[in-house]
Amino acid sequence: MTRTRIHVMAAVIRRSGRILIAQRPKAAHQGGLWEFPGGKLDAGEDRYEGLKRELEEELGIEVTSARPLIDIDHDYPDKSVRLDVWLVDDFNGEAHGAEGQPVQWVLPGELRLYDFPQANVPIVTAAQLPESYLITPDCEDSSTLVAGLDDARKRGLTMVQLRQTAMQPAKYEQLTTRLMQSFGDDFIWLLKAATPPASGDGWHVTASQLRELHRAGWRKGEPFPAGPPVPPRSVQAPNLGPRSAPEWERLPGREGAPAGNNLLAASCHDAEELRMAAEIGADFVTLSPVLPTTSHPEAKGMGWEEARNLIAQVNIPVYLLGGLSTDNLEQAFQAGAQGIAGISGLWKPKTDL
């Protein structure tokens, strides 16, 4: 059966730390569910102009600043929908349900309390994620790490991957505990480990971990697979047996915690790994390398066009990584990315503080 193809403009509208959502009419397709405001793009219409027109009709506002956030393709039994989602961070007027629809301004962390169509799930995630994802360098001592994180906090960075490749697991766990006690909810934390963090914070898996998880048929929210003996440090190591992903996602006291808790992220380098990440239920990924880097001079950068083509193949937020800094944010947005990730491009060494 041939599906009708519909291009829909939608908006994540931010003001004063809150996001606007609207409720679908009861009689409409998936009526009663909440959504991000927008509507169909007319044939031949410019995307930005179509977004502005729809939001003026639906909410009575005049958009003055917006940029692409995430592009989603979703198939229903009778139609195929492209959700072309933009972030609106400035507008004139008072947003209201101009067509009689209920609207709500909610905190990002409250989005999980509302029922959205399945196609909107990646938008809910993208709406809560920042535009920059800091990856910490290997530090010889914790004071350097603390100083760098304190500087990152002052510069407004809010999501951190604690990557300390030379550190033994026990010392890494002790370090992460101390850092999270010091910085608390100032950051969304992504940890590197063989298992999901016992704290309930985010888990960033390597490409090799991703491939093992995918090979085992695991998906976020399911128990980890039991199987034959495997090499040490494998994601299927025996110590995974008693714990399940639902326990990771529903640890006591985490229900009202910041939006970043329990995120699953994965490192990807090609279309196959992006597909695997989507199939295991990753909330977001990093894609690298975009440009040549000093840390991996042998790795050829994929370039912006290839990055754009790869991002278009998945419906999850993607951070571009490799030779990038905040100067590249606009290029990343135009390529369809959530933003940029980096070590040297986002981290200031102690001598610079």
DSSP string, 23-39: EPPTTSTTTT-EE-SEE
Q: Which of the residue ranges 64-73, 194-203, 204-213 would you say has the lowest mean pLDDT?
A: 194-203
User: Which residue, of 59, 94, 128, is where some domain finishes?
Assistant: 128
Measured distance CA(136)–CA(162) in Å, rounded: 6
Domain total of the chain: 2
Is residue 119 located within the same domain as residue 139?
no
Is residue 138 located within the same domain as residue 119?
no
Question: What string of DSSP letters covers 283-352?
Answer: SEEEE--SS--SS-TTSPP-HHHHHHHHHTT-SS-EEEESS--GGGHHHHHHTT-SEEEESTTT---GGG
DSSP state letter for 195: S
Is residue 174 located within the same domain as residue 289?
yes
Is residue 110 located within the same domain as residue 141?
no
Our measurement of the distance from residue 91's CA atom to the centroid of its chain's CA atoms, rounded to an integer in Å, reads: 25
pLDDT grade, residue 2 (50/70/90)?
low
244: pLDDT strictly greater than 60: no
Is residue 109 located within the same domain as residue 136?
no
What pLDDT is stored for residue 183 in this prediction?
Answer: 93
Is residue 89 located within the same domain as residue 178?
no
What pLDDT is stored for residue 229 in this prediction?
Answer: 40
Is residue 164 located within the same domain as residue 231?
yes
What pLDDT is stored for residue 251 in this prediction?
Answer: 37
User: Which residue, of 128, 154, 182, is where some domain finishes?
Assistant: 128
Is residue 319 located within the same domain as residue 199?
yes
Is residue 35 located within the same domain as residue 66?
yes
Q: What angle do CA 253, 257, 263 make, to 5 degrees?
A: 110
pTM here? 0.89
Question: What string of DSSP letters covers 93-148?
Answer: S----TTS--EEEE-GGGGGGS---GGGHHHHHHHHS-SEEEEPPP-SSHHHHHHH
Give residue 25's domain range: 4-128
pLDDT in tens, 138-176: 988 889 999 999 999 999 999 999 999 888 888 998 998
What mean pLDDT is predicted for residues 306-324?
Answer: 97
Is residue 91 located within the same domain as residue 142?
no
Under 8 Å between Cβ of 152 and 136: no
